[in-house]
């Protein structure tokens, strides 16, 4: 058995994934809110029998425990293998072995970003072109000390200034494109992504520059842009200022999350060093994971407008079950940003932080502020919004507390609310059971194909086929080993080069592909080889298309099932029959509908 196979055999994907997301049992499988995109309803499933995962929502992707770890932690295959091997107690080679090719490329991107940050910072401090940028930061009351501490910069109003500067340092244009610093022209060549903007270098918790935020200094739109997704930058997993804030967060046991770069800079100037920013995005679970390692006490400073309130409601629904942290909300005065409050009334900011209510309590405040207690419709609306959140609370004491609170605020009996909660739980159990059966069926259909190995062996043994395979991407390969070998093959010229770049654990599989024997017709005729690879590519594309269609169909089927089940339950409620008395009948009906007929 290969080392990869041994690690897989000793690893339970459920145990690994549950360390990142809150999994819920769904039949024989598990489900959760997808950790790779924002969503309200669980579309991420883990299948223990197959030791695989799949997102049937926006991502539409899946894989095994290796691909999950690589995607979630942003690590390469070698790093994922070592993490899982350590966890499983499998001995690998010396940790002092040379870094993989991919890790060397990642380090190169960090170096490029660091050089770009130094270049931009120098121009802000010293160039004539940076005068407008210096005036802007001065108007925003950002001090020279803060400018240096956060390494703010200025990108000149030039198409190729950074490109030429880094070229002189020995970097090729393709490196700059991969780092997100240069954009490619359709006709060839490239140009600087950031021009005439105030630059905010974005550091990770290890104090490495991963990317940039940039604010326009003229009327250019959009006003703010970021680096694109790269091997080292993911906006959904980044927190601006985390490198400067991490010590204070640990010391104060509190992370304050704001929306903008300037909010962070001004907060730090006033001594609030535990402030970071989500960079204008809705807070993601990946960002929560970053700060949870420092403190499980989190306060969100949000705009007090309707949009901000609705965003808080969505956060409450998402985080109440998936985040193991205590989340509070700093409700800002109408129309004020955190930096304005801190500047105009530091005492008010201090009290807002100290008196920040828990997220669910704040959600109660928002909902109840819109309720007319004389209107039954308003009460019903409040129950519809708040009861699902109460139902998801795992601690029975907390659940009872909020149930009593809602009953008191709405002036309804606790028994009526409990009945409502039971009905909601009944609906979810029926829906989840139908969902689990359908997704389990789809997962069982997913098996690896020898087409992947045949295709890879052709490409590796016959370099002349490279130009024919331009349509292929790593996504076409389900197997972790095949996907990783294909990804590295793209940047290699020959087999020795590929051997050098691959992790040692994959060399056995590579040797198998290199040694694979083809029929004489393929060995002797290039035309036959081209027909063979074209057929492989077509089949891989069809397989990928079917996987994507299966995911879409799964979601559609579940929606249809939920609509049908909802209608059944509505009829039961009208007749006064408690749904719990008839759930089994509905299960049987659904089973009969999907069971294939014999004969």
- CATH number for the domain including 81? 3.90.580.10
Number of domains in the chain: 4
**Of 171, 203, 233, which one is at a domain's C-terminal end?**
233
Q: Examine the domain organization and report whether 147 and 279 are in the same domain.
A: no
- Could you tell me if 233 and 227 are in contact, meaning their C-beta atoms sit under 8 angstroms apart? yes
Domain stops at, among 186, 211, 233: 233
User: What is the per-residue pLDDT for 323?
Assistant: 58
CATH code, domain with 195:
3.90.980.10
- Cα separation, 248 vs 242, whole angstroms: 10
DSSP one-letter code for 60? -
Query: Does 437 share its domain with 560?
Result: yes
Task: Among 88, 120, 152, identify where a domain stops.
Answer: 88
Mean pLDDT of 567-593: 41
Give me the percent of the chain exceeding a pLDDT of 90.
34
Question: How far apart, in whole angstroms, are the C-alpha atoms of residue 438 and residue 321?
Answer: 24
What phi and psi, each to the nearest 5 degrees, are found at residue 226? -125, 165
Query: Do residues 192 and 159 make contact, with C-beta atoms less than 8 angstroms apart?
Result: yes
What is the reported pLDDT for 411?
Answer: 92
Residue 464: Cβ within 10 Å count = 11
Classify residue 294 by its DSSP letter: T
Are 270 and 250 in the same domain? Answer: yes
Phi, psi of 82 (to 5 degrees): -65, -40
CA distances from 177 to 171, 192, 229, 256, 533 (A): 11, 9, 11, 34, 30
Residues 381 and 349 in one domain: no
pLDDT for position 505:
78
326 neighbors 297 (Cβ within 8 angstroms): yes
Q: Is residue 479 part of a domain?
A: no
In tens, the pLDDT along 273-318 reads 999 998 866 677 778 878 887 888 999 986 655 445 555 555 555 5
Range of the domain at 50: 3-88
Examine the domain organization and report whether 321 and 409 are in the same domain: no
Nearest to 315 by CA among 40, 72, 35, 10: 40
Q: Output the CA–CA distances (angstroms, integers) from residue 591 to 430, 561, 594, in the order listed.
A: 12, 11, 5
Q: Is residue 61 part of a domain?
A: yes
pLDDT at 284: 76
The verdict on residue 433 lying in a domain is yes
Residue 492: pLDDT band with limits 50, 70, 90: confident
Stretch 415-425: mean pLDDT, rounded? Answer: 77
> Residue 594: CB partners within 8 Å, gap ≥ 6?
437, 438
Question: In this structure, are 248 and 297 located in the same domain?
Answer: yes
Phi, psi of 405 (to 5 degrees): -65, -45
For residues 193 and 319, state if they share a domain: no
Residue of 395 and 262 predicted with greater confidence = 262
180-202 burial string, b = 16+ CB within 10 Å, else e?
Answer: bbbbeeeeeebebbbbbbbbbbb
Sign of CA dihedral 351, 354, 357, 362: positive
Token pair recorded at residue 36: 């790779």
Looking at the structure, do residues 403 and 426 belong to the same domain, yes or no?
Answer: yes
- Report yes or no on 535 lying in a domain: no
Average pLDDT value over all residues in the chain: 81
pLDDT of the residue at 307: 45
**Measured distance CA(446)–CA(50) in Å, rounded:** 9
Per-residue confidence (pLDDT) for residue 94, from 0 to 100: 46
Is residue 36 in some structural domain?
yes
* Judgement on whether residues 266 and 333 belong to the same structural domain of the protein: yes
225 occurs within a structural domain? yes
- pLDDT tier at 72, thresholds 50, 70, 90: confident
Residue 63 lies in a domain: yes
Output 444 or 144, whichever has higher pLDDT.
144
The SS3 call for residue 232 is coil
Q: Report if residue 551 sits inside a domain.
A: no
329, 333, 336, 342 alpha-carbon torsion, rounded to 10°: -70
Whole-prediction pTM value?
A: 0.58
Task: Please tell me whether residues 113 and 220 are part of one structural domain.
Answer: yes
pLDDT (average), residues 9-20: 86
Are 280 and 260 a contacting pair, CB within 8 Å?
yes
Residue 341 shares a structural domain with residue 246: yes
What is the per-residue pLDDT across 495-553, written as a single tens digit (0 to 9) for each?
A: 888 888 888 778 878 888 888 888 888 888 888 889 889 988 888 888 877 766 654 55
Which of the four pLDDT bands, split at 50, 70 and 90, describes residue 40?
A: confident
CATH number at residue 346: 3.40.1360.10
pLDDT tens for 307-363 read: 455 555 555 555 555 556 788 999 888 888 899 999 999 999 999 999 999 988 988
Q: Report the pLDDT averaged over residues 367-396.
A: 87
Same-domain status, 245 and 139: no
Which tops the pLDDT comparison, 572 or 522? Answer: 522
Instruction: With both helix axes pointing from N to C terminus, report the angle between 101-126 and 161-168 in degrees, rounded to the nearest 10.
Output: 120
CA angle 546, 550, 554 (to 5 degrees): 175
Q: Say what the pLDDT of residue 589 is.
A: 43
């Amino acid at each position: 058995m290969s080392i990869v196979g041994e690690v897989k055999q000793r690893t339970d994907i459920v145990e690994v994934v549950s360390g990142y997301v809150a999994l819920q049992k769904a039949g024989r499988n598990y489900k959760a809110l997808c950790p790779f995109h924002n969503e309200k309803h669980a579309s991420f499933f883990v299948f223990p029998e197959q030791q695989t995962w799949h997102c049937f929502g926006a991502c539409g992707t899946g894989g095994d425990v290796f691909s999950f770890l690589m995607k979630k932690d942003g690590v390469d295959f070698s790093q994922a293998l070592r993490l899982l091997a350590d966890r499983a107690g499998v001995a690998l080679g010396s940790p002092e072995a040379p870094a993989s090719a991919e890790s060397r490329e990642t380090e190169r991107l960090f170096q490029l970003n660091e050089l770009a940050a130094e270049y931009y910072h120098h121009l802000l401090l010293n160039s004539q072109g940076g005068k407008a940028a210096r005036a802007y930061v001065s108007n925003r009351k950002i001090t020279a000390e803060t400018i240096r501490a956060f390494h703010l910069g200025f990108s000149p109003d030039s198409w190729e200034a950074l490109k030429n500067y880094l070229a002189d340092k020995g970097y090729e244009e393709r490196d700059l494109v991969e780092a997100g610093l240069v954009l490619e022209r359709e006709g060839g060549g490239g140009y600087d992504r950031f021009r005439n903007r105030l630059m905010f270098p974005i550091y990770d918790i290890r104090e490495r520059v991963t990317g940039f935020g940039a604010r326009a200094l003229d009327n250019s739109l959009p006003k703010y842009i970021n680096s694109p997704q790269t091997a080292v930058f993911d906006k959904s997993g980044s927190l601006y200022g985390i490198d400067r804030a991490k010590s204070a967060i640990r010391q104060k046991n509190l992370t304050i999350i704001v929306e903008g770069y300037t909010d962070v800079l001004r907060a730090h100037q006033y001594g609030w060093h535990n402030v970071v920013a989500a960079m204008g995005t809705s807070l993601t679970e990946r960002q929560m994971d970053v700060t949870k390692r420092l403190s499980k006490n989190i306060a969100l400073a949000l705009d007090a407008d309707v949009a901000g309130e609705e965003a808080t409601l969505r956060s409450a629904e998402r985080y109440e079950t998936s985040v193991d942290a205590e989340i509070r909300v700093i409700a800002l005065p109408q129309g004020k940003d955190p930096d304005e409050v801190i500047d105009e009334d530091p005492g008010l900011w201090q009290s807002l932080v100290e008196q920040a209510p828990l997220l669910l309590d704040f959600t109660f405040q928002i909902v109840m502020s819109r309720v007319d207690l004389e209107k039954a419709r308003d009460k019903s609306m409040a129950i519809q919004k708040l009861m699902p959140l109460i139902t998801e609370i795992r601690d029975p004491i907390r659940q009872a507390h909020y149930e009593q609170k809602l009953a008191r605020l709405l002036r309804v009996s606790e028994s009526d609310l409990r009945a409502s909660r039971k009905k909601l739980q009944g609906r979810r159990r029926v829906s989840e059971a139908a969902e689990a059966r359908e997704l389990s069926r789809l997962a069982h259909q997913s098996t690896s194909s020898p087409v992947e190995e045949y295709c890879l062996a052709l490409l590796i043994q016959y370099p002349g086929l490279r130009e024919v395979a331009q349509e292929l991407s790593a996504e076409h390969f389900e197997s972790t080993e095949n996907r990783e070998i294909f990804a590295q093959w793209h940047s290699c010229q020959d087999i020795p080069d590929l051997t050098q770049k691959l992790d040692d654990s994959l060399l056995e599989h590579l040797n198998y592909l290199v040694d694979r024997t083809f029929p004489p017709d393929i060995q002797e005729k290039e035309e036959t080889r081209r027909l063979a690879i074209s057929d492989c590519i077509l089949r891989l594309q069809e397989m990928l298309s079917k996987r994507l269609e299966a995911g879409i169909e799964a979601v559609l089927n579940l929606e249809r099932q939920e609509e049908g089940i909802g209608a059944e339950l509505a009829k039961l409620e009208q007749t006064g029959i408690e749904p719990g008395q008839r759930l089994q009948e509905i299960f049987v009906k659904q089973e009969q509908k999907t069971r294939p007929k014999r004969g």
